[in-house]
Amino acid sequence: MLDDDPQGEFDLVGYWRAIRRQKWGILGITLSCVIIGAMMALKAVPIYQATVTILAKPIQPRVTTTNQYANNALIFLFYETQYEIIKSRAVAARVVDKLGLATKEEARRARQQAESVAKEQSGLSLNWRSWVPDELSWLPDEWLGQHEPIALTAEQRREALISRLAGGLVVKGGDQSEIISIKYDSPDPEFAAEFVNAVADAYVAFGLHSRLTSARKTTSWLNDQITELKKKMEESEAALEVYQQSTGMVDTSSRQQVISTKLASLSVEQIKAQTAKSEAEIRYNQVLKIKQQGGGYGSLVSVLNSALVLGLNSKYSEMERRVSEYSDRYGHKHPKMIAAESDLKQADKALRSAINKVVESIRKEYDFAVAQERRVNALIKKQKREIGDVRGKGFALAKLEREVENNRQLYETFLGRFQEEDVVDEYDISNVRIIDRAIVPMTPIEPNIPRMRMISVVAGLVLGIMFAVVRERLDNTFKTLETLETKLGLPVLGLAPLLKKIQRSESAESYVSIAPRSPFAEALNHVRTSVLFSNIDQPPKVLLVTSATASEGKTTLSTNLAIAFSTLGRTLLVECDLRRPRFGGIFPREQQHGLTNLVSGQESLNACVFQNEEHSGELFVLGAGTVPPNPLEFLSSKSFAKALDILRKHYEHIVIDAPPVLPVSDAIVVASMVDGVILAVKAESTTYQMANTALRRLKAAQIQPLGSVLTMADASRMAYYGGQSYDYYDSGYYGYGES
């Protein structure tokens, strides 16, 4: 039994114990698999394998500067391509035609048909129609499992044969060496060798034919490409020449350099013109400002810096000083005074004329600076347009030149390739050759006896372990005290070990008195102690022993438990299983009176109860007596309850052997009158559902059992379920063992 782990952990020990418990089943399944494997090996058709080895070197054209990288990439895929070629239908078709396999297949088919016709005529063939009743003869053949074979043409059968043979080839190798092995399996060893050798020959011939065909196609293609490239080169050269003549451009780089130099010079002049314009504009704006304000121009910097104005201004100051001097000396009428005033007027006129000339020169300088700037800007724009025009023409010219150069290079490359060597010479026709031809295999590869034996053993072990695990999972019987306590939720009072056959022949029901120092007696004493300690202040006096169903060892438990109690005081063993009384065979005696006689008042207590003198303790037995017609009504009567009260007064301990709970309700009725109920559960027999159903019935009657006892528990088997914790039930306790 494998209990589900509540924490979801993998219980490796539990699985190992389950395997040990089911070891004989696992061994049986393993042996069955080995036998089946041996039978399959004996009936299997021997398969022979023929192998041919081939040296295959990658096809490498002579390396040129343009294809060396492409060749390295193609070599990487060479072997995978060869595998597919060898297994191709084209190679297989060559073999079929060379060996005449299609004709042989047709002949074989004709022989089979002839044999089939002969069998039908002789009545040896199996005709499904003959088994069909006449009333069902109208049904179509498809409904009766008969199907007419699809008629194939000879060509279709040949194609099917090619596909079947090609699919049987196994090709390996080429990973670490240049060797490729071709294998073929067949029940006919001679055919396997013949076929695989033919495949190797066909592969070599196919490769040579393919390479020669490819070489011829390559030569033709190169010729066509050279002609086309030459034509393109000539056309591009003509187009370049026409363009140069129409545009007059031969070398665009020198012309662009000249224009760029002029543009750089004009840029310098533009900067100078802009500077001169800015300076002239400043002076001109000063003139305009003075003119608007109505002031004089004498404060202008240009006027002040003019040498002519400075000289005239000095002369004017001298004339003005002289007039002032003459005015004070001579008066206004004096000729010298008049002459001085005339000179002053002339000096003033000359000064004003000089200042006006300076102002006019400022305006002219400004106009000139503006005109100069415009001229330089116009020249720059012209140069830029010319540069753009030259560049556009240069792009077109460069495009034509590149086209000419590309066409020339392609033409020279293909021409040089074609002139260097003949394309056919580039291919090594001996790059594939057969190293070892296949020989007729002597030993079959199938069936592989060691491998089949190993597979059979492994499969048997796996199936056996799966069987063991599934069986343990489905097993829901009680096997350990821990499981008993967990599943029922009752205290476990102990267990009653399984007695061996030799021991049972003596007397299982009184074994405690026969072997008081045996592990069985120790176990029953433990149960007795557990019962007494269930209520220390008021130990139960009247005990009822029952079980879920019959044959769970409750009678053996009740009798031996009564014997164990008899060592402590007067103990009465009462048989309440009135439907199947057994005490008559366990405790032979002369009187036939019992419980029914006592309850009905027919006999006295002394007449119904007898003391078993075979035991050392004070054990008294009260049998069933005369079996009543309705045991349930008898046990439910007030007379029975009254009789039980009387028995309480005469004995210190009373053990009642009651019927099982599930078949009848007798035990439930009696259980309501006793001090404690013990539920016997048979190990490896009673299921969880049965025990729990019995417990629910007791609890439904407001009866809470004292606990449960695991009966007929095999300590050696319990060790498989819970380790070594039950070994002492086999070896005794404190050195006590079997007598």
Asked if residue 58 has a cis previous peptide bond (ω within 30° of 0), the answer is: no
Kindly state the tokens that stand for 601: 């008042």
Give the contacts of 202 (CB within 8 A, at least 6 positions apart).
91, 92, 94, 95, 98
| pLDDT score of 372 more than 70 | yes
The arithmetic mean of pLDDT across residues 499-506, rounded, is: 60
State which amino acid sits at residue 60.
Answer: Q
What is the C-alpha separation between 318 and 325, in angstroms, rounded?
A: 11
At 615 the pLDDT is 67
Q: Determine the average pLDDT of the residues in 259-283.
A: 77
For residue 235, name the pLDDT band (cuts at 50, 70, 90). confident
Residue 427's pLDDT band (boundaries 50, 70, 90)?
very low
pLDDT of residue 239: 76
pLDDT of residue 739: 37
**Average pLDDT score over residue span 476-497:** 89
Q: What is the dihedral of CA 155, 160, 163, 168, to 10 degrees?
A: -140
User: What whole-number percentage of the chain has pLDDT above 90?
Assistant: 21
Domain 476-731: homologous superfamily in CATH: P-loop containing nucleotide triphosphate hydrolases (3.40.50.300)
Return the higher-pLDDT residue of 224 and 705: 705
Identify the weakest region by mean pLDDT among 96-100, 238-242, 550-554, 637-641: 238-242
- Mean pLDDT of the 113-141 span: 56
739 versus 333: the higher-pLDDT residue is 333
For the ranges 24-38, 40-54, 166-180, which has the lowest average pLDDT? Answer: 166-180
pLDDT reported for residue 304: 60
Question: Where does the pLDDT of residue 61 fall: very low under 50, low under 70, confident under 90, or very high at 90 and above?
Answer: low
Determine the Cα–Cα distance for residues 676 and 543; give it in Å rounded to an integer. 5
Q: Rounded to two decimals, what is the model's pTM?
A: 0.50
Judged against a pLDDT cut of 60, whether residue 46 lies above it is answered with yes
Average pLDDT on 482-489 reads 89
**How many CB atoms are closer than 10 A to CB 503?**
17
Q: How far is CA 336 from the centre of its chain?
A: 132
Rounded Cα gap, residues 715 and 518, in angstroms: 14
Query: H helices of 489-630, where?
Result: 501-507, 511-514, 519-532, 554-566, 583-586, 595-600, 605-608
